[in-house]
Amino acid sequence: MAPQKRFVPTEQIGVGGLEIGPLEKKYVNQVLNSSRLSHGPFSQRFESIFAREHDCRYACFLSSGTSALHIALAVLKERHGWRDGDEVLVPAVTFISTANIVLYNGLQPVFVDVDPQTYNIDAAQMEGKITERTRAVIPVHLFGLPAEMDQIMEVAERRGLRVIEDSCETMFATYGGKKVGSFGDVGCFSTYVAHILVTGVGGFCTTSDDELAVMLKSAMNHGRDAIYLHMDDDKTAEKERLFEVAARRFRFVRLGYSFRATELEAAIGLAQLERKDEFLLQRRRNAKILTEGLSHLEDRLQLPIIPEGRTHSFMMYPMVLRDQPKSDLVNFLEGRKIETRDMLPLLSQPIYRQIFGDIEGQYPVARWINESGFYVGCHPYLKPEEMEYMVEMICEYFR
């Protein structure tokens, strides 16, 4: 029997992927044929199902995960009367927008080191960072794994902090049987390319608070009066109601933003949502291939864990070298057409060094992750031979 030919990729094996299927195209064509591009039936259905899938009463579909975080903090600041310069706890490892939106809102991020195994905010260190000016915490569900929400919520409730869940990298995952995005005041999600669900660019706020839901919808619509938040709000047969809407629909009650999404994005997202179980199953299968294939290297390479009581969505597959920098391994993989990404360094970013100074040394776990951590893809469009090739190349490096 002839020896089996070794798989060699002709294109880069990326950390993300996307295939627009027939259902996405069908829904987009329905939108185009309707001539309705602003918030309409596809957006409403997308919001309704997404909220239900995350154990929440309301969801607002908007322009990005960053926009979601921005208005979540803005409306909480307004509601609770926070002052400029008040503080918000942020993990020392996260995408930069988590901390940027604190600065955008005139508040001060206070960084908390992360757990060395889950890479999420270390809840045990939160208490030591709280001052009389601390108003909120933004736990991040990083890489697809929920943060330690029981302990985070206990500290927040005892110390009177509001909670915004940055779940931009994690959808449908559970902590203690409860969905991410449903623990705090507001949950924030991203539907950017390569995320769990993809709309192109987009995001969600979720909440079960009636008042916050109205404030969020107003804030993303220029701060409009809640009587007229989208173009169907004046379609009523009741004359008195119509006259009231007409009198107030061009009133603005807060400083708001143009963070709206379109029906086209909602159509793509709704089709993706109908395939979520398929996507999640394949992500978890791909992660299992990597974990099983690399388990013999765990004395040198820390692989993802799934603590008891949590589920993992595996938006990506993070790894950290235990006792050496990542640069040689990353270059080895990149040279063999395997894309890698840093595990979201924050405090070492040039703009943050400029703003906060050289503070990374105060966060030893974050510094270790920044120096030695990276991730590869495990998205649902990867082929089995590509997964096996990644395992083979990582093993070859260590040999």
Does the pLDDT at position 219 exceed 80?
yes
**95-114 pLDDT, tens per residue?**
999 999 999 999 999 999 99
pLDDT given at position 322: 97
pLDDT given at position 5: 78
Record the tokens describing residue 97, joined without a space.
Answer: 């927008």
pLDDT given at position 1: 57
Q: What's the distance, CA 323 to chain centroid?
A: 29
What is the 8-class DSSP label of residue 12?
-
Residue of 284, 293, 298 whose CA lies nearest to 382: 284
**pLDDT (mean) for 171-184:** 98
Residue of 48, 41, 75, 84 whose CA lies nearest to 221: 75
CA 134, 135, 139, 140 torsion: positive or negative? negative
Tell me the CATH class for 276-398: alpha beta
pLDDT given at position 244: 82
**231-287 pLDDT, tens per residue?**
777 676 577 777 887 888 889 999 999 999 999 999 999 999 999 999 999 999 999
Average pLDDT, the chain: 96
Confidence of residue 6 (pLDDT cuts 50, 70, 90): confident
Long-range contacts of 335-339 (CB under 8 A, 24+ apart): 336/9, 336/393, 337/9, 337/11, 337/12, 337/13, 338/9, 338/12, 338/13, 338/376, 338/389, 338/390, 338/393, 339/12, 339/13, 339/14, 339/15, 339/376, 339/377
| Distance separating alpha carbons of residues 189 and 98, to the nearest angstrom | 12
**233-245 pLDDT, tens per residue?**
767 657 777 788 7
User: Whole-model pTM above 0.85?
Assistant: yes
Record the tokens describing residue 190, joined without a space.
Answer: 């991203």
**pLDDT (mean) for 313-319:** 98
Per-domain residue ranges of the chain: 22-273, 276-398
Return the CATH number of the domain spanning residue range 22-273: 3.40.640.10
pLDDT given at position 4: 66
pLDDT given at position 389: 98
| Distance separating alpha carbons of residues 292 and 388, to the nearest angstrom | 11
Contact 370, 348 (CB under 8 A): yes
**pLDDT (mean) for 307-329:** 98
**51-94 pLDDT, tens per residue?**
999 999 999 999 999 999 999 999 999 999 999 999 999 999 99
**pLDDT (mean) for 155-175:** 98
**336-367 pLDDT, tens per residue?**
999 999 999 999 999 999 999 999 999 999 99
